[in-house]
């Protein structure tokens, strides 16, 4: 049975990935900060709950050593400072990069040791269209762009090891990420979509697809949008 480690597992895309991979027969360790939600998820899916903050290197090392993942899903992400640089709290900028960039790099480093020893592994990172295209947020976009380059260059570093690197870049997903009540973002044009956004399980299905490809096939980068979302255009500011 393949072992998967999923971060950001208590809500949204991460929770949907845990549900999907558990149903598909993977042994799943679910990492998140909210213990009650993790316990609920464990009783629903049979996953192993592992409470912790992804920026806590010591705790993450323990979890990786315990779970020995064949598959690492770097899903945990945070929308701090997503509303704009000028209004962002200094600590929010630091936390955004810590969660969205540094933590996936650290976790990947930790997981690679066992994967290399076993000669097989799969790192899946949930990026964003904000990492591929110019969108509203400088800080959030920079973090997701870092994940894009991280994934591309890691593939280069690991060629010849049998380890696959997949990056999935969703557009708008209906999840708590956009819920101002969770404290991630202030209410603005990133609030819940007024159109049919992607559902977390749509992204989980793509993860399952990438994992189920034959070992010689690496689904490298997938960009996925709601049908009613398009990217492009030029913004012109007028200074009086
Ligand atoms: C954020 C994607 O489309 O909501 O990851 O700006 S979008």
For residue 198, which of 172, 161, 167 has the smallest C-alpha distance? 172
28-52 pLDDT, tens per residue? 999 999 999 999 999 999 999 999 9
Is the shortest distance between the CB of 129 and ligand 1 below 6 Å? Answer: yes
Q: Tell me which H or E stretch contains 165.
A: strand 163-170
Domains, the chain: 3-224 (3.40.50.720)
Q: How far apart are CA 146 and CA 38, in angstroms?
A: 28
Q: Provide φ and ψ at 224, rounded to 5°.
A: -135, 130
Mean pLDDT of the chain: 93
Closest approach atom of ligand 1 to CA 171: 3
Which one of 30, 67, 122, 140 is the catalytic residue? 140
For residue 223, which of 105, 108, 126 has the smallest C-alpha distance? 126
Residue closest via CA to ligand 1's atom 4 equals 172
Q: What is the pLDDT of residue 188?
A: 43
Gap from CA of 187 to ligand 1 centroid (Å): 14
Q: How far apart are CA 164 and CA 154, in angstroms?
A: 9
Residue closest via CA to ligand 1's atom 5 equals 128
140 carries an active-site annotation? yes
pTM summary value: 0.94
Q: What is the pLDDT of residue 221?
A: 98
Is the shortest distance between the CB of 135 and ligand 1 below 6 Å? Answer: yes
70-81 pLDDT, tens per residue? 999 999 999 999
């Amino acid at each position: 049975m393949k072992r998967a480690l999923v971060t950001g597992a208590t809500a949204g895309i991460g929770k949907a990935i845990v549900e999907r991979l558990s149903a598909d027969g993977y042994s799943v360790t679910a990492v998140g900060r909210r213990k009650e939600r993790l316990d609920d998820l464990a009783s629903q899916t049979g996953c192993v709950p592992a409470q912790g903050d992804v920026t806590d290197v010591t705790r993450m090392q323990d979890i990786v050593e315990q779970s020995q993942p064949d598959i690492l899903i770097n899903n945990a992400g945070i929308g701090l400072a997503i509303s704009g640089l000028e209004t962002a709290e200094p600590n929010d900028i630091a936390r955004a990069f810590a969660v969205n960039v540094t933590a996936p790099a650290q976790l990947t480093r930790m997981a690679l040791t066992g994967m290399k020893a076993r000669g097989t592994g799969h790192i899946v990172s949930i990026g964003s269209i904000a990492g591929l295209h110019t969108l509203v947020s400088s800080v959030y976009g920079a973090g997701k762009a870092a994940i894009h380059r991280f994934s591309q260059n890691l593939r280069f570093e690991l060629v010849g090891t049998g380890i696959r690197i997949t990056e999935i870049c969703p557009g708008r997903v209906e999840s708590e990420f956009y819920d101002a009540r969770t404290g991630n973002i202030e209410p603005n044009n990133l609030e819940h979509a007024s159109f049919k956004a992607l559902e977390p399980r749509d992204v989980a299905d793509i993860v399952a697809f990438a994992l189920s490809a034959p070992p010689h096939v690496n689904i490298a980068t997938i960009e996925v949008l709601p049908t009613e979302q398009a990217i492009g255009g030029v913004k012109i500011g007028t200074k009086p």
